[in-house]
Chains A and B, each alone.
Chain A
């Protein structure tokens, strides 16, 4: 990979990370506040606690896994010596 392409890739990954963070925030909101009026209890604990806390944790892990799998790329951090 050329040096300039590595920087392009790094920019792309930074943007994807920001989008992922927004997704986690939206999930957190929906699975917590969104379920706050639901009266269902699991193990004596309100559903919004499971969704907003445990759910957000699992969701964040899945999102990071997807980022690594599909968006992030491996490359050498040192500049390759050009073969010209």
Chain B
């Protein structure tokens, strides 16, 4: 069944993104000559509302939005969609809480990463370097999970080998991220978000027609699987899962550094406001339609789970069984776009952590700041090396996509949650508290995750965030108050 037509649509889309990125690189040549780090890592603070909304939403929606999520929805029913809807808050929450405060501070100190802001707040290399390490480690795990998920999907749908797909979109995304920088990532993300919406609608329509129409699918479901129409899904969706998910993919996403960094990148407050509204509309639509795909797929894939192997096979099977090779090829642009838009942002943030937050800082401390030209070289080389490394690991990958992704997700949230919130909104928060919270929280989360230890059946994120809060308060009592210059920078309202 593998024919060149399967491949063509995705390939054309990728080449288009590559051109967009190259054009952006050319257009920003003069800005980069002036201040490379600022243009490369945050796009020179020029994002408008639409692009800001789309890039935040596209970075957030990943291959799980198309594979893991709908797959589970196929087996659980509407309850899974209901749970997934917690994601409507993620865009406006992060932009509304941090958007302006971080931007005000970042403009004053010329920050280009979240860790720059943390360094200015807590004056701690131990904190900044650990934050950079956590970011890079968890981002790499997430990127591998993304690549693996998308390449498997690609193989199942097109019939071309796993490595062919991985190589095609893996190398192209690494290359266009490297040349395009943040602005390239943001604009290509916007195209990816549009592609995701189109791909979802297309697949939705095809599945409905193959399944005999929405009403028929639903009435069959009411007869054969009545529990799929209940929120608790006959016990398969316990209340503890709802609460866990509200924390893990809802409220705690507030502190994901790849989202928070977007607060530094926008042009003006009007852009921020527009982005919050557009972003909420888009992320809601994406969650609603992509996850419903899984429920509707019950009308196309009618056999029991054992016939399909695992829930990760549901989306590819549904695509293959509901459309011809060409349209299937068009359709997987959606999940591929979701993957590469996540990878591009993570890749750039990871390389920013190493080059900007760690290496440039060491050089400045030594009194030998890097000249603009060397920053350029190191940033480009850093981005491409991390990207190739991730590609390499993905060729023979570790198993279970969804769990790796979720492990990383929670780890990042635990590391940054209180450190960011208290740092920006509590003037007495100090270095010792932040150190306790970040180190302790990550350790608690990872250890409890690895030992599968939990409380009240809740996800370990609840333990991690809770433990991190307690440790922050304990550490804060031991440390000494931040100095006046720091408080004047972050809390000028207290001096006026």
Contact = CB atoms under 8 A, between A and B. Distances in A.
B235 to A, nearest CB: 14
Interface string B265-304: 0001110010011001100110110000000000000000
A6 B96 CA distance: 14
Interface in A15-65: 16-18, 20-21, 24-25, 28, 32-33, 36, 43-46, 48-49, 52-54, 56-57, 60-61, 64-65
Interface of A: 2-11, 13-14, 16-18, 20-21, 24-25, 28, 32-33, 36, 43-46, 48-49, 52-54, 56-57, 60-61, 64-65, 67-68, 72-79
A2 B246 contact: no
B373 interface: no
**Interface majority SS (helix, strand, loop, mixed), chain B:** helix
A61 B269 contact: no
Contact of A60 (B269, B273, B280): B280
Interface residues of B, number: 47
Contacts of B285: 57
Given A32-B82, A44-B219, A14 B96 contact: yes
Contact of A2 (B104, B491, B496): B496
Interface of B: 78, 81-82, 85-86, 88-89, 92-93, 96-98, 100-101, 103-104, 107-108, 214-215, 217-219, 222, 229-231, 246, 251, 268-270, 273, 276-277, 280-281, 284-285, 287-288, 425, 491-493, 495-496
A8 B101 CA distance: 10
Contacts of A25: 89, 246
A78 B110 CA distance: 11
Given A21-B93, A52-B82, A53-B85, A77 B231 contact: no
A72 B218 CA distance: 42
Contacts of A76: 268
Contact of B269 (A4, A36, A74): A74
Nearest to B232: A36
7 tightest Cβ-Cβ pairs between the two chains A and B:
A17-B96, A44-B218, A57-B284, A4-B496, A10-B100, A60-B88, A4-B493
B92 A64 contact: yes
Contacts of A73: 269
Nearest to B219: A44
B104 A72 contact: no
Given A17-B92, A57-B288, A61-B277, A49 B103 contact: no
